[in-house]
Amino acid sequence: MKPTILQMGAYPEWDEKALNEAYDIRSYYEAADKSVFLSDCGNQVRAIATRGELGASREVIEACPNLELISVYGVGYDAVDLEACRARGVRVTNTPDVLTGDVADLGVAMMLAICRGMIGAEAWVRNGDWARAGNYPLQRRVWGRRAGILGLGRIGHEVGQRLRGFGMEIAYSDIAEKPYASDWTFVPDAVELAGRSDILFVALAASAATRHIVNREVIEALGPEGVLINVSRASNIDEQALIAALQAQRLGAAGLDVFENEPTIDPRFLSLPNVLLQPHQASGTIETRRAMGELMRANLAAHFAGESLPTPVL
């Protein structure tokens, strides 16, 4: 008998095919009445396959009394109720490392697009303004400026490695100094880090402790010339404070790949000229998504084979 897996959201075709070949897949996301669906199949579920932004709530976990494992497709697992998992002895895995480089790439790409005005400049050419009105308004350089990285884990460190190539002055904030960043400046306070940064990257893992760590005070410290880039989780930023600062131009600009209530984001973002919006696609390359799927499935296979989990969280 194939183990029964509750699938919380869709995956690329190559992962869907492999999962359906190996397991008895029950597609939660396709169910019209999810409560009825869980009551029908919850007793059979031994593992949950989910995505980082979807996670697994306490309600879902408790509806699966024989649940053994939650395998997350993504590095973030803040949407999984870890307390409920601990109480039930449910293991949790994620897919770290394989997406680190792509996420860092997108963060740096957003920095370049914002500072050099690339989205507006492209429109300037297409709509004929270049011919009618002349050269595009001057923008800001990137090289040699001051960068701050809030959270120097895997992704934050890779962002910093890329910023080296721009000759930027790099500082970071974390719970402690990192031995692998001895030539970068450690700043323990997020407000102080923002105050000394032209561009602030948010690369923190999300938790209750980091919720809204980028608050009004941090945003004000970054200031009307500052740029905020978020490739972490929406909960790390006070979105209401961010929108207010962008509207009043108390913050220069923001590049965002994550949002509260995505994909139905706050409509005020859509009318702001000083924000670059991305559809939560930092890890969205064919190479990385294949690697993420393989690691998610490797965790499932190891569990059911009674082997050590490749990338355990819990």
Asked if 204 contacts 236 with a C-beta cutoff of 8 angstroms, the reply is: yes
Catalytic residue among 51, 145, 233, 289: 233
Asked if 3 contacts 25 with a C-beta cutoff of 8 angstroms, the reply is: no
Say which amino acid occupies 208. Answer: A
Residue of 53, 51, 54, 47 lying closest to 22 (CA atoms): 47
C-beta atoms surrounding 108 within 10 Å: 23
User: Residue 3 corresponds to which tokens in the numbers above?
Assistant: 């183990």
Catalytic residue among 51, 280, 297, 303: 280
User: Known catalytic residue: 233?
Assistant: yes
User: Residue 301 corresponds to which tokens in the numbers above?
Assistant: 């296979």
User: Known catalytic residue: 280?
Assistant: yes
Angstrom CA distances, 285 to 154, 244, 292, stand at: 18, 33, 10
Asked if 136 contacts 79 with a C-beta cutoff of 8 angstroms, the reply is: no
In angstroms, the CA 105 to CA 135 distance is: 29
Catalytic residue among 16, 192, 220, 262: 262
Cβ neighbors of 111 (< 8 A, separation 6 or more) are: 142, 199, 201, 227, 229, 255
Residue of 308, 290, 278 lying closest to 107 (CA atoms): 278
Asked if 267 contacts 292 with a C-beta cutoff of 8 angstroms, the reply is: no
Alpha helices in 70-141 (DSSP H): 82-88, 100-115, 118-126, 129-133
- The kind and range of the H/E element at 301 are helix 286-304
Q: Give a three-class secondary structure readout of 189-242.
A: CHHHHHHCCCEEEECCCCCCCCCCCECHHHHHHHCCCCEEEECCCHHHECHHHH
Asked if 281 contacts 53 with a C-beta cutoff of 8 angstroms, the reply is: no
User: Known catalytic residue: 13?
Assistant: no
Q: Which residues are catalytic?
A: 233, 262, 280
